[in-house]
């Protein structure tokens, strides 16, 4: 354990000499290879001389940070760019002039003076000029670029106060400089300028819209909105790690605040904790609640976010549900951090009801598709199961069947399935009249089950298109797959011969039928079930976006 020096520089209008002395002392520690936690406008940084491999190695040790995760060099202005970066494009100066000092980190080609330790061996380097008077003064005084990751232990929420830093770093580093609570509260926006168009690697304190207003459209890295598949490498190595994670698992609920509050209310149990906007806290009386701020004030939400995540570490909850702002402005960074804390476990709540009709032949992937619907918090209505329940319970339907097929119910009222089967499978018209009866009762029953509730529903029916059930759906979806793949899947799944698998497929309607009659088609040619689920997730996400767009216009 070392003694961590604490410098209070919250009030910089105070004793000028004292302030200058502390700034000089912090700069000296940095020049001598020590570690100093520094305030910035985004989050606290754990600083070291970015040109000193030994000092930089200490950062990784103290944080417990994976070796492959590079650091940001903090500089005091654009005039330093050419010292540490090669081939600085004019665009970098355009951005720096407008947004520095401020929460924008630029990825540029690395210059020869920057050691491998800082960039984790990459041929690029991240640079930013933080907007905090104390830290800018320390950087100038030290005359060095300061490599600084966020000052938390790796995996924990970033620190937005010097107290948070002490919680994680006391006794491990030479010095903590207290510059007051961070004004922005989420880390900087990271923009890769080594590609065209520039690419957003991490949303942060500078909203994308502001960057685009200045330089036109930028690309958004996939890691911003989703967890990456196995083997996929994000361009900002840090984006692949589970971050900001409280000990209890987090579920993020997106959608309009009223809808997400309702959805959380439906889900919370006795040991659940809730992260919500101020206005909704009273709905969760009796639960452990930490509030993000007013639903309309993203600046406050950003400031409080990490504090709330930290607070949950000392709460005895088993799971945490979190409301989440939309993606506009600072919302993109806030929701990205919440989703990362949740390992991208996200449920969509909505004030609208969306009903997807799902159909398709055996072995194509309908079951996986429906699993994804459930995973998104949706409800699946299995029409075959509904039909069988109704055969037991619906007196009306039973009577109607009995009229046309006398004797299929025995004296005790039990359906003789074998007999009914023999009746209908020998003659087409008989099957048609049974179907007519069943559909007549089934469609209203499914409608009843859909209720007037909001949310996502899937109606799973092999006879979706013939039954009239398609009418209650916003979209009908055919899940199809190449025949050879279906054969292999059915053989493996049901442990049957190839011949029998082919027979099962030919007994059903061809893909062509579903393809031409449904509103849309999802073809499952994926190598693995997980790959297909990933495609299904993206397919559903896009579809929901379109449907909600249509519906919300319809409502205006």
Residues that bind ligand TXA (CB under 6 A): 40, 42-43, 45, 69-72, 103, 105, 107, 119, 122, 124-126, 128, 130, 148-150, 187-188, 190, 201-202, 235-239
Segment 348-407, which members bind Mg ion (CB under 5 A)? none
Going edge to edge, which strands form the sheet with 379-382?
Answer: 379-382, 455-460, 353-359, 475-480, 520-523
Residue 47 near which of ligand TXA, Mg ion, none (CB within 5-8 Å, type-dependent): none
Of 45 and 360, the one with the shorter C-beta distance to ligand TXA is 45
The size of the chain, in residues, is: 556
Partner from Mg ion, ligand TXA, none contacting 130, C-beta within 5 to 8 A by type:
ligand TXA
Nearer to ligand TXA by C-beta: 122 or 219?
122
- Looking at beta carbons only, is 120 or 450 nearer to Mg ion? 120
Nearer to Mg ion, 150 or 254 (CB): 150
CB 204 within 8 A of CB 42: yes
- What pairs with residue 178 in β-bridges? 8
Smallest gap from Cβ 163 to Mg ion, in A, equals 18
3-state secondary structure of 247: coil
- CA angle in degrees (0–180, nearest 5) for 351-354-356: 165
The one segment of 133-141, 143-151, 191-199, 414-422 that binds Mg ion by CB under 5 A: 143-151
End-to-end alpha-carbon separation of the chain, Å?
63
Instruction: Give the Cα separation of 236 and 220 in Å (integer).
Output: 12
Structure tokens at 313: 């570490």
Closer Cβ to ligand TXA, 105 or 467, answer by number: 105
Q: Is 73 left (phi over 0), alpha (psi -120 to 50) or beta?
A: beta
Q: Which does 69 bind (CB under 5 to 8 A by kind): ligand TXA, Mg ion, none?
A: ligand TXA
Q: Quick one: which segment of 146-154, 304-312, 354-362, 458-466 binds Mg ion (CB under 5 A)?
A: 146-154
Cα separation, 439 vs 292, in Å, equals: 49
Q: Any contact of residue 150 with Mg ion (CB under 5 A)?
A: yes
Residue pair 117/129 in contact by the 8 Å Cβ criterion: no
Structure tokens that stand for 233 in this block: 């490498």
Please, what is the minimum distance in Å from the beta carbon of residue 187 to Mg ion? 6
Closest CB 160 distance from Mg ion, rounded Å: 12
C-beta separation of 71 from 59 below 8 A: yes
E strand or H helix at 523? strand 520-523
Assigned token pair, 181:
């609570």
Task: Residue 477: name the closest of 438, 502, 511 by CA.
Answer: 511
Contacts of 541 (CB under 8 A, 6+ apart): none
Contact between residue 129 and residue 148 where contact means Cβ atoms under 8 Å apart: no
Tokens 């020869």, located at residue: 112
Rounded to a whole number of angstroms, the minimum distance from the CB of residue 314 to Mg ion is 21
Q: Which is nearer to ligand TXA, 83 or 504 (CB)?
A: 83
The item of Mg ion, ligand TXA, none sharing an interface with residue 225, based on CB under 5 to 8 Å by kind, is: none
Q: How far is the CB of 125 from ligand TXA (least distance, A)?
A: 5
Shortest distance in whole angstroms from residue 228 CB to ligand TXA: 13
The residue among 7 and 84 lying less far from ligand TXA, judged by its C-beta, is: 84
Query: CB 190 → Mg ion: shortest distance, Å?
Result: 11
From 118-126, 144-152, 159-167, 267-275, give the range in contact with Mg ion by CB under 5 A.
Answer: 144-152
- Say which entry of ligand TXA, Mg ion, none residue 239 contacts (CB below 5 to 8 A, set by partner kind): ligand TXA
Contact in structure between 277 and 295 (CB atoms under 8 Å): yes
The minimum distance between CB 164 and ligand TXA, in angstroms, equals 12
- Of 188 and 476, which CB lies nearer to ligand TXA in the complex structure? 188
Residue 268 binding: pick among ligand TXA, Mg ion, none (C-beta 5-8 Å cut-off by kind): none
Pairing of strands 5-8, 146-147: unpaired
Smallest gap, in angstroms, from Cβ of residue 244 to Mg ion? 8
Which segments of 182-283 are extended strands (E)?
A: 189-192, 199-202, 219-220, 250-254, 272-276
Q: Closest-CB residue for ligand TXA?
A: 238
Instruction: Return the one option of ligand TXA, Mg ion, none that residue 119 interacts with (CB less than 5 to 8 A, by type).
Output: ligand TXA
Pick 148 or 332: Cβ nearer ligand TXA: 148
Nearest CB to ligand TXA, comparing residues 236 and 302: 236
Q: Which does 199 bind (CB under 5 to 8 A by kind): Mg ion, ligand TXA, none?
A: none
- The least CB distance from residue 116 to ligand TXA, in Å, is 12
Please give the structure tokens belonging to residue 159.
């620190």
Q: Which residue has the tokens 């760019």?
A: 81
Query: Nearest to Mg ion by Cβ — which residue?
Result: 150
What gap in Å lies between CA 189 and CA 210, rounded to an integer? 11
Nearer Cβ to ligand TXA, position 152 or 335?
A: 152
User: 167: exposed, middle or buried (C-beta count within 10 Å: 0-12, 13-18, 19+)?
Assistant: middle
Least distance in angstroms from the C-beta of 65 to Mg ion? 8
Share of the chain residues as helix, strand and coil, in percent rounded to the nearest 5: 45, 15, 35
To ligand TXA, the closest distance from the beta carbon of 258 in angstroms equals 33
Q: Which is nearer to ligand TXA, 202 or 290 (CB)?
A: 202
Q: Look up residue 519 and give its two tokens.
A: 């509103």
Interacting residue ranges for Mg ion, rule: CB under 5 A: 150
């Amino acid at each position: 354990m070392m003694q961590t020096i604490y410098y209070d520089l919250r009030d910089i209008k105070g004793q000028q000499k004292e302030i200058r002395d502390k700034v000089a002392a912090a700069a000296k520690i940095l020049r001598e290879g020590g570690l100093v936690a520094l305030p910035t406008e985004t989050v606290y940084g754990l600083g070291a001389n970015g040109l000193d491999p030994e000092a930089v190695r200490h950062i990784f040790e103290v944080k417990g940070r994976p070796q492959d995760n590079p650091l940001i060099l903090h500089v005091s202005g654009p005039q330093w760019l050419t010292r540490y970066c090669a081939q600085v494009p004019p665009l970098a100066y355009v951005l720096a002039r407008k947004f520095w000092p401020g929460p924008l980190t630029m990825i540029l080609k690395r210059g020869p003076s920057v050691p491998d330790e800082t960039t984790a061996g990459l041929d690029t380097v991240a640079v930013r000029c933080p907007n905090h008077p104390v830290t800018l003064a320390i950087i100038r005084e030290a005359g060095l670029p300061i490599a600084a990751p966020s000052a938390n232990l790796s995996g924990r929420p970033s620190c937005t106060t010097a107290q948070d830093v002490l919680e994680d770093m006391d006794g491990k580093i030479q010095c903590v400089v207290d510059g007051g609570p961070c004004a922005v509260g989420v880390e900087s926006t990271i923009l890769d300028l080594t590609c065209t168009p520039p690419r957003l690697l991490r949303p942060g304190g500078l909203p994308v819209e502001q960057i685009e207003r200045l330089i036109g459209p930028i690309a958004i890295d996939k890691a911003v909105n989703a967890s990456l598949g196995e083997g996929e490498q994000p361009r900002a190595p840090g984006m692949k790690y589970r971050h900001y994670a409280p000990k209890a698992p987090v579920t993020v609920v997106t959608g309009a605040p009223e809808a997400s509050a309702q959805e959380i209310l439906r889900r919370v149990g006795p040991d659940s904790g809730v992260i919500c906007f101020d206005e909704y806290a009273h709905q969760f009386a009796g639960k452990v609640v930490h509030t993000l701020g007013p639903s309309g004030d993203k600046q406050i939400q950003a400031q409080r976010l990490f504090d709330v995540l930290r607070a949950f570490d000392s709460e005895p909850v088993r799971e945490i549900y979190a409301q989440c702002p939309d993606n506009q402005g600072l919302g993109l960074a806030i929701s990205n951090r919440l989703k990362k804390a949740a390992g991208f476990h996200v449920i969509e709540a909505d004030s609208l009801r969306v009903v997807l009709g799902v159909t398709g032949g055996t072995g194509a992937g309908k079951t996986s598709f429906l699993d994804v619907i459930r995973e998104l918090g949706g409800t699946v209505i299995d029409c075959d199961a509904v039909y069988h329940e109704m055969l037991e319970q619906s007196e009306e339907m039973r009577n109607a069947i009995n009229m046309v097929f006398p004797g299929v119910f025995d004296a005790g009222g039990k359906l003789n399935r074998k007999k009914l089967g023999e009746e209908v499978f020998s003659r087409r018209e008989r099957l048609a009249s049974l179907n007519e009866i069943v559909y007549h009762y089934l469609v209203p029953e499914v409608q009843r089950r859909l209720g007037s509730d909001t949310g996502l529903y899937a109606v799973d029916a092999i006879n979706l298109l013939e039954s009239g059930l398609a009418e209650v759906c916003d979209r009908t979806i055919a899940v199809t797959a190449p025949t050879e793949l279906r054969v292999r899947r059915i053989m493996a799944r049901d442990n049957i011969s190839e011949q029998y698998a082919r027979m099962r497929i030919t007994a059903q309607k061809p893909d062509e039928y579903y393809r031409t009659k449904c509103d849309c088609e999802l073809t499952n040619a994926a190598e693995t079930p997980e790959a297909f689920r990933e495609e299904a997730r993206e397919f559903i996400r896009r579809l929901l976006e379109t449907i909600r767009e249509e519906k919300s216009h319809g409502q205006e």
